[in-house]
Amino acid sequence: MSPLTRRAFLAAGTAGAVSLLLGACAGDRTASVTALPGPRRDPGFVPDTELVLHAVPDTATILPDTATPVWRIVGEVVEGDPQALTEISGSYLGPTLRLRRGERVRITFRNELSEESILHWHGLDVPADMDGHPRFAIGTGEEFVYEYEVANRAGTYWYHPHPHRRTGPQVYAGMAGLLIVTDDEEQALGLPTGEFDLPLVIQDRSFDPAGELRYLDGGMMGAMMGFLGDRVLVNGRLDARIPVAAAPHRLRLLNGSNSRIYKLAWDSGEPVTVIGTDGGLLAQPVERPYVTLAPAERLDLWVDWSKAPIGAEMRLISLPFRAGGLTSDRFDVLTFQVDRQGPAGSGLTERLSDPGFDAPADADRTRRVELRFAGGTWTLNGRSFEMTAVADDEGVPRGSLEIWEFVNPGRGGMGMGGGMARLPHPMHMHGESFQVVERIVDDGARADWETLADGFVDEGWKDTVLVMPGETVRVLRRFETDGLFLYHCHNLEHEDMGMMRNFEVV
């Protein structure tokens, strides 16, 4: 695999190694768990499904003959359909949760790590106290009980830790899993299911010579840029090869990387057929020459391999791009290999779903959020995260339909030719999904923007949107669920350094 590079624009690296990762965890495997009371369970809440998820130090085989220390989420179904939880075999990733819209679920999270943690259900619209906000982080040996009804459309969501300043290292150490929701509208479509529905979690990692995961060895400068690993993993495996049948498939892609953006294409040059985004199925399929997948974004692809001969290989690659101070070369992501016959394709229907979008003209107001490098750190409107603080312009009247305008100024700098202040930021909002209604690009930033823009899929519901240097992205969303929620950059190093704020729906 060709090396993954970014423009080497920095010379004077701040020393001061940031000791962030696994160090202390490995000896902790048998820590006994004393169940402390989480929030009181609602006596009136009767779950359809009850799960337990533990966070534990463990090892995984990623490199040959090497046990790499990881932090893993393991789980079990206490009550309900055993298929609600399935392992991705041979992977450090957490189990895949499969839920139905309208299902009531209770999930007990037990923290058996040597530091505090909390789980967040990325993309789900849940009550504020079930959302895994960092203020709910629990210590070693404690547990947190989540109870909620699945309100979201069918789609590919995911879960990961969210403790303040430690989300990046915990996700990097292995803590993340998929949460797949289905509903009647989706089931009526006859899309590929079972072995023909492939979830694919794409991540990047670096290893030290002993085979341990290496994180942020660039010190503070690495954190300012965001961590980029030099190897690509799919579902926890290097150089992924996935055997498939000669049949149509649904490919659910999640970019579970801390900071790396992928520009995904078939190396055959065929277009990519997209059927869904973060918040579920599109109204109808769309085609792209390639797709751009920023951290935390999901894309649902459809491919028909029913005419492919046994032995055929289909390769997904990432193409070169440039986004201000971040550049990426071409590299391989994964290879599918046809190893068996399969059922013939029934084709793809023209009408996939009714997204039920709102009209931008109906918006009650517009808010502006500037993504700025200020005071040596990444900020939102010049502010850093404060655990429970909500500024005057971060209160949202319940029931509002609002336009949020994420502005990436794409200029400024730290005396390094401004490279530091020209980075893309994948902006994420907790709670209800949004639609991307407009993108405006500065003339001076257009050349870079065009290296990724054809791969944006703005036709569907989203919860994370890439905001390129010199770009303003307007999103439209409703705020019906009250309480304190987060919005932040999903470049996890930026998030951990405070590029995150609360908004409060009241």
Q: Give the residue closest to ligand C2O by C-beta.
A: 122
Cα–Cα distances (Å) from 244 to 114, 194, 198, 303, 459, in that order, read 40, 12, 10, 11, 29
Name the one range near ligand C2O by CB under 6 A: 185-193, 323-331, 364-372, 484-492.
484-492
Binding mask 157-176 for ligand C2O (x = CB under 6 A): ---x-x--------------
Question: Rule CB under 6 A: is residue 133 a binding residue for ligand C2O?
Answer: no
Q: Which is nearer to Cu ion, 250 or 462 (CB)?
A: 462
Question: Rule CB under 5 A: is residue 425 a binding residue for Cu ion?
Answer: yes
Cβ–Cβ < 8 Å for 321, 451:
yes
Question: Rule CB under 6 A: is residue 296 a binding residue for ligand C2O?
Answer: yes
378-414 burial, b if ≥16 CB within 10 A, otherwise e? Answer: bbbbebbbeeeeeeeebebeeeebbbbbbbbbbeeee
**Residue 260 touches which of Cu ion, ligand C2O, none (Cβ within 5-8 Å per kind):** none
214-242 burial, b if ≥16 CB within 10 A, otherwise e? Answer: bbbebebbbbbbbbbbebbbbbbbeebeb
Question: Rule CB under 5 A: is residue 462 a binding residue for Cu ion?
Answer: no
Question: Rule CB under 6 A: is residue 120 a binding residue for ligand C2O?
Answer: yes
Longest dimension (CA), the chain: 62
Q: Which is nearer to Cu ion, 21 or 421 (CB)?
A: 421
Compute the distance between CA of residue 292 and CA of residue 339 in angstroms, rounded to an integer. 29
Name the one range near Cu ion by CB under 5 A: 276-284, 326-334, 403-411, 494-502.
494-502
**Residue 425 touches which of ligand C2O, Cu ion, none (Cβ within 5-8 Å per kind):** Cu ion
Cα–Cα distances (Å) from 279 to 295, 351, 497, in that order, read 15, 17, 27
**Residue 488 touches which of ligand C2O, Cu ion, none (Cβ within 5-8 Å per kind):** ligand C2O
Question: Rule CB under 6 A: is residue 428 a binding residue for ligand C2O?
Answer: yes
Of 130, 138, 326, 489, which lies in the binding site for Cu ion, with binding defined by CB under 5 A?
489
Q: What are the DSSP calls for 410-460, one per residue?
A: ----SSSTTGGG---EEEEESSS-EEEEEEEE-GGGHHHHTTTGGG---SS
**Residue 162 touches which of Cu ion, ligand C2O, none (Cβ within 5-8 Å per kind):** ligand C2O
**Residue 72 touches which of ligand C2O, Cu ion, none (Cβ within 5-8 Å per kind):** none
Q: What are the DSSP calls for 253-286, one per residue?
A: EEE--SS--EEEEETT-PPEEEEEETTEEEEEEE
Q: What are phi and psi of 400, to 5 degrees?
A: -75, 150
Compute the distance between CA of residue 213 and CA of residue 230 in angstroms, rounded to an integer. 11
DSSP letter, residue 383: B
To ligand C2O, the closest distance from the beta carbon of 430 in angstroms equals 6
Question: Rule CB under 5 A: is residue 306 a binding residue for Cu ion?
Answer: no
Question: Rule CB under 6 A: is residue 488 a binding residue for ligand C2O?
Answer: yes
**Residue 97 touches which of ligand C2O, Cu ion, none (Cβ within 5-8 Å per kind):** none
Residues 6+ apart with CB under 8 A from 363: 401, 402, 403, 476
Q: Which is nearer to ligand C2O, 252 or 490 (CB)?
A: 490
Binding mask 316-345 for ligand C2O (x = CB under 6 A): ------------------------------
To Cu ion, the closest distance from the beta carbon of 7 in angstroms equals 17
Name the one range near ligand C2O by CB under 6 A: 32-40, 250-258, 470-478, 482-490.
482-490
Of 108, 328, 353, 491, which lies in the binding site for Cu ion, with binding defined by CB under 5 A?
491
294-308 burial, b if ≥16 CB within 10 A, otherwise e? Answer: bbbbbbbbbbbbbeb
To ligand C2O, the closest distance from the beta carbon of 296 in angstroms equals 5
Cβ–Cβ < 8 Å for 385, 313:
no
To ligand C2O, the closest distance from the beta carbon of 347 in angstroms equals 34
Cβ–Cβ < 8 Å for 234, 262:
no
Q: Tell me how many residues contact ligand C2O (CB under 6 A).
A: 10
> Exposed (0-12), middle (13-18) or buried (19+): which is 97, by Cβ within 10 Å?
buried
**Residue 237 touches which of ligand C2O, Cu ion, none (Cβ within 5-8 Å per kind):** none
Q: What are phi and psi of 186, to 5 degrees?
A: -70, -45
**Residue 491 touches which of ligand C2O, Cu ion, none (Cβ within 5-8 Å per kind):** Cu ion
To ligand C2O, the closest distance from the beta carbon of 495 in angstroms equals 7
> Exposed (0-12), middle (13-18) or buried (19+): which is 42, by Cβ within 10 Å?
exposed
To ligand C2O, the closest distance from the beta carbon of 125 in angstroms equals 13
* Site residues, ligand C2O (CB under 6 A): 120, 122, 160, 162, 296, 428, 430, 486, 488, 490
Q: Residues interacting with Cu ion, by CB under 5 A?
A: 122, 425, 430, 489, 491, 494
